[in-house]
Amino acid sequence: MPSAATTRTRQAVVEAAVACWSTDPSASLGEVAARAGVGRSTLNRHFSGRAELVAAVDQLCRERFRAAAAGARPEEGTGLEALQRLALALLELRDLLGLVFGDDAPIDPDSWEDDEHAELEQVLRRGYADGSLAGDLPPEWLATVLWTTLFGAWLLLREGRFSSHEVGTLMIRTLARGVGSA
């Protein structure tokens, strides 16, 4: 049972790591500690090394992604509509997307496979069944297109020349045309 101070410090460090690494994944532990307002030795007291801190950030990402996916009501409407809601919900996690899409990203969703991937498969299956998704495109490709389109939207959003709403509109429009039934 960790004390209150311990829990608070750990949380501050993890949040600082997200803030730092979402823009520069190569940021040193010293920078993370500074951003968290703690000493480097304190950071190493809570996380034995960089790998352990990355693991903590990874777990936080899983939770946030899971919550966002659940909030997109994946069981509602057609499979394509659910896919579009899912994409929009993920796009709102800008900082977290930086950890996944940024150069030499520390977080790799492919290593999850268990929870999130299963839910996406469910949505795709429903899309095939109700005819809202193109039946001639294999599920691996649909999943890839979802992620890469989300990646593209995140890129444009990061550029700053388009608003979040504009990018979201472009994304779901291209998604509907690209993988929806003709």
Partner DNA sequence: TCTCAATGGAACACGCATGTCCCACTTTGG
Partner DNA sequence: CCAAAGTGGGACATGCGTGTTCCATTGAGA
CB 96 to DNA: min, Å: 20
Minimum distance between the CB of residue 11 and a copy of itself, rounded to whole angstroms?
28
- Least Å from the CB of residue 16 to a copy of itself: 22
Q: Which is nearer to a copy of itself, 9 or 149 (CB)?
A: 149
As measured in angstroms, the least distance from the Cβ of 13 to DNA is 9
User: Which entry of DNA, a copy of itself, none binds 149, CB below 5 to 8 A by partner kind?
Assistant: a copy of itself
For residues 131 and 138, which CB has a smaller minimum distance to a copy of itself in the complex?
138
DSSP codes joined into one string, the chain: ---HHHHHHHHHHHHHHHHHHTT-TT--HHHHHHHHTS-HHHHHHHSSSHHHHHHHHHHHHHHHHHHHHHHT-TTSS-HHHHHHHHHHHHHT-HHHHHHHHSTT-S--GGGT-SSHHHHHHHHHHHHHHHT-B-TTS-HHHHHHHHHHHHHHHHHHHHHTSS-HHHHHHHHHHHHHHHHB--
Rounded to 5°, the CA angle 153-156-163 comes to 90
148 binds, among DNA, a copy of itself, none (CB under 5 to 8 A by kind): a copy of itself
Choose from DNA, a copy of itself, none: what does 5 bind? Cβ within 5-8 Å by kind. DNA
Question: Residue 46 binds what, of DNA, a copy of itself, none (CB under 5 to 8 Å, by partner type)?
Answer: DNA
What does the binding site for a copy of itself look like in residue numbers (CB under 8 A)? 103-105, 134, 136-138, 140-141, 144-145, 147-149, 151-152, 155-156, 159, 161-162, 170, 173-175, 177-180, 182
How crowded is residue 70: how many other Cβ atoms within 10 Å of its Cβ?
11
Binding site for DNA (CB under 7 A): 2-6, 8-9, 28-30, 37-42, 44-46, 48-51
CA angle in degrees (0–180, nearest 5) for 93-91-164: 105
- Residue 138 contact partner, candidates DNA, a copy of itself, none, CB within 5 to 8 A by sort of partner: a copy of itself
